[in-house]
Every structure is written in structure tokens, then in C-alpha cells.
Amino acid sequence: GENVEQHPSTLSVQEGDSAVIKCTYSDSASNYFPWYKQELGKRPQLIIDIRSNVGEKKDQRIAVTLNKTAKHFSLHITETQPEDSAVYFCAASNTGTASKLTFGTGTRLQVTL
């Protein structure tokens, strides 16, 4: 089955700096890659997603890149703010045969003043 690895496990940046979180996946059939933000005690919230026919997607300060050949994808957050502090999870799925999401282990992002 699919296996998703996520790095780093913790990331501390100063406000205004950029943050990058990287994930690799094992199943070449995976074609959908969402990123979720989870604040303490809250539900995972979808912040951005990308499909395998696209190499990059941006939404304001957030961007995701996908390299299908290398089977890795990354989340980029620019101009970080304290409210960006949370745990971020990447995930992968193959929507052709199943919609189950396989999640990475999470990255705890701390944005310091």
C-alpha cells in the first residue's frame, strides 16, 4: 500500500520568513495530494491540494509543488504569521481505485515573533 513520509517533524521559523515542508510517497498510482492544517484540539482543515496533472498550485501565501518522477511534493508558506503555527499533514490518495487518504506523520510549525 501507499506510504507517505514527511519531513521535518518540527520546524521553527521567525515571523515573516518562509517555511517548507516536504513529503514523499511510494505508490506511483497516487494522483491527489492534499495538505491539512490541524490546530491543537481541532479538526484537520484542508488548506491546499494538487492533482497529478499539475506541477504547482498557489493560493495567496501558500503553494504546493509536485514532482511525479521523484514522487515528492512540498508545501511552501511565505511571509509566515503567528497564526500559521499548527501541525501540518500531507496526504496522498489514488482517486481512481479508492479515495482513502494516506497521511504523513505531521510537521509541527512554530512561528516565533
Contacts with another protein by CB under 8 A lie at: 6, 32, 34, 36, 42-46, 49, 51, 89, 91, 93, 95-96, 98-106
Q: Please say which residue, 77 or 106, places its beta carbon nearer to another protein.
A: 106
β-pairing, 10-14 vs 107-112, is parallel
3-state helix, strand, coil in the chain (%, to 5): 5, 55, 40
CB of 46 to another protein, least distance (A): 7
Least distance from another protein to the Cβ atom of residue 61, Å: 20
Which residue lies nearer to another protein by CB, 78 or 103? 103
Query: Closer to another protein at the Cβ: 13 or 49?
Result: 49
Asked if 85 contacts 33 with a C-beta cutoff of 8 angstroms, the reply is no
- Tell the smallest beta-carbon distance from residue 104 to another protein (Å): 6
CA distance 10 to 23: 14
Nearest to 103 by CA among 94, 93, 112, 95: 93
Choice between 14 and 97, CB closer to another protein? 97
